[in-house]
Amino acid sequence: MIASLLCLGILKPVDALVSPDGTGRLPAMGWNSWNEYACDISEDVFVRVADLMVDLGLKDLGYQYVNIDDCWGVKGTTRDNVTQRIIPNPVKFPGGIRHVADEMHARGLKLGIYGDAGTQTCGGYPGSLGYEEVDAAAWSEWGVDYLKYDNCNIPQEWVDVPYMYPDNGGSPDGDVPPGYDWSASNSSARYNRMRDALLTQNRTIQYSLCIWGHANVAAWGNATGHSWRMYSDIYPAWAGARQGSQALMPILNQAAFYWNVSGFWGRNDWDMLEVGNGDLTLEENRSHFALWAALKSPLIIGTKLDAIRPEILAVLKAGEIIAFNQDPVYGAGAVPYRWDRVGNDTHPADYWAGSSSRGVHAFLLNTEEEERDTELVFAEIPGLQEQQPAVRPGPYLVHDMWTGEDIGVFSDSVVLRVKRHDTAAVRVTTADGQHPSPQWLLR
């Protein structure tokens, strides 16, 4: 139905991603196997995770997708020689992908799968370039609900001229004429082919582009998918880079320049959560979660749920932080303020503010190596400045989104003590609980 309207030209492609059931309107929430299992996956892993998502109360908080990442096929480019379909690894998935989807659906969850817009996936399994229709039809028939579509092994005839990637500071290779239209790039074409194949299926499949910010995807991702990866892979460390992956602070620094791109139906994806992994401190775990939620990045858990530590589970279940990410009325993510737009991979933007149905929110990150006092000055928050329409005057009630407790009522500012690498997350309303700036970021 959506597809036939598209053919008649009634819907623009960008609107085709607006599904009647609301899929893709809000940032996706779920779990993905890559960060902790890599290729060591099986049907049992996903069924066990699904049970834990229900038992641990994660499903009730909105985590719904259980996503298979790379390595589910048969290595190489082998496809079924009759149907041309990718063959699920019979040892890892003896009942096929459809059986895993059935198991997820029986628990009220959804299943995600992984593909690649090149000849092979990053791990060397069959890619979908040239097989978009075949693969989309298979996934749809198997009951898949979400596709993460990666960007490895691009053949020469599909390479972008010029080429743009953010990992080198965003400098495109080659001459880029002023006003260059990245939506006409070969990368955009590769991802649009899969979009069109998904839209012809009789099934709504959320479309997550894993294109690492290449080809200036921020300019065309919203016409192509529901979310688009904006930078290199994440790894579980506070600062630095490792083998082409980026730690939390460089990613946050990149995000500060693109805050205005995310909105309903289309999100910057700052990569899956590392909460619970590596050697982050508890405060670093908290900052990671709060800031990814504030950016309205998809919230895809990437840690083992078996024997998950209670303090880590508590971070992933912080209900008021999740509610900001999933707000049904305000689509925009938080805005960096008190920031000079210079960019710093160890000390990125640390004052962020946004709006939700419940009020104005501030996320105050301490990038320093010691605990410090951070001052939340109401007049500095973009939404509470006088030029904003319909700002209700203070004093304001400040509420702690982590603990769910009110901190107090203040006229001009409040000083918050923030531990090393922690993030204070507060909600600001009028003293009687009204939204102080209902028009702000209402889009």
- Please pick, from the candidates 277, 356, 423, 437, the single residue that binds ligand NAG as defined by CB under 6 A: 277
Beta carbon of residue 114, minimum distance to ligand NAG (angstroms, whole number) = 22
Beta carbon of residue 429, minimum distance to ligand NAG (angstroms, whole number) = 26
Nearer to ligand NAG, 295 or 398 (CB): 295
> Would you list the DSSP string of 183-206?
GGSHHHHHHHHHHHHHHTSSS--E
Asked if 14 touches ligand NAG (CB under 6 A), the answer is yes
Asked if 264 touches ligand NAG (CB under 6 A), the answer is yes
Asked if 280 touches ligand NAG (CB under 6 A), the answer is yes
Q: Which stretch binds ligand NAG (CB under 6 A): 96-104, 227-235, 271-279, 374-382?
A: 271-279
Beta carbon of residue 397, minimum distance to ligand NAG (angstroms, whole number) = 30
In eight-state DSSP terms, residue 49 is H
- Please pick, from the candidates 222, 224, 253, 356, the single residue that binds ligand NAG as defined by CB under 6 A: 222
Question: Helix 43-55 to helix 96-106 angle, to the nearest 10 degrees?
Answer: 10
Asked if 282 touches ligand NAG (CB under 6 A), the answer is yes
Q: Which stretch binds ligand NAG (CB under 6 A): 47-55, 95-103, 159-167, 351-359?
A: 159-167
Site for ligand NAG in 299-338 (CB under 6 A): 309, 311-312
User: Under a CB-based contact definition with an 8 Å cutoff, are residues 297 and 267 in contact?
Assistant: yes
Beta carbon of residue 183, minimum distance to ligand NAG (angstroms, whole number) = 10
Cα dihedral 325, 327, 332, 335, rounded to 10, equals -60
- Please pick, from the candidates 5, 15, 379, 417, the single residue that binds ligand NAG as defined by CB under 6 A: 15
In eight-state DSSP terms, residue 245 is E
Instruction: Give the containing element (helix H, strand E) for 97.
Output: helix 96-106
Looking at the annotation, which residues are catalytic? 150, 233
Beta carbon of residue 143, minimum distance to ligand NAG (angstroms, whole number) = 11
Asked if 347 touches ligand NAG (CB under 6 A), the answer is yes
Asked if 5 touches ligand NAG (CB under 6 A), the answer is no
- Please pick, from the candidates 4, 83, 281, 434, the single residue that binds ligand NAG as defined by CB under 6 A: 281
User: Under a CB-based contact definition with an 8 Å cutoff, are residues 163 and 127 in contact?
Assistant: no
**How far is it, in rounded angstroms, from Cα 123 to Cα 40?**
12
Site for ligand NAG in 171-200 (CB under 6 A): 184-186
Nearer to ligand NAG, 82 or 243 (CB): 82
169 by DSSP, 3-state: which? coil
Nearer to ligand NAG, 276 or 359 (CB): 276
Give just the sign of the alpha carbon dihedral 74, 77, 78, 81: positive
Q: Which residues of 205-218 are buried (b: 16+ CB within 10 A; e: fewer)?
A: bbbbbbbbbbbbbb
User: Under a CB-based contact definition with an 8 Å cutoff, are residues 280 and 10 in contact?
Assistant: no
| Phi, psi angles (nearest 5°) of residue 418 | -125, 125
54 by DSSP, 3-state: which? helix
Contacts of 21 (CB under 8 A, 6+ apart): 204
Residues in contact with ligand NAG, total (CB under 6 A)? 34
**How far is it, in rounded angstroms, from Cα 398 to Cα 405?**
9
Site for ligand NAG in 28-47 (CB under 6 A): none
Nearer to ligand NAG, 30 or 266 (CB): 266
Euclidean distance between the first and the last CA atom of the chain, given in angstroms as a whole number: 28
297 by DSSP, 3-state: which? coil
Beta carbon of residue 365, minimum distance to ligand NAG (angstroms, whole number) = 13
Beta bridge partners of 417: 373
Q: Interface with ligand NAG by CB under 6 A: which residues?
A: 14-15, 18, 81, 157, 159-161, 184-186, 202, 222, 236, 260-261, 263-266, 276-282, 285, 309, 311-312, 344, 346-347
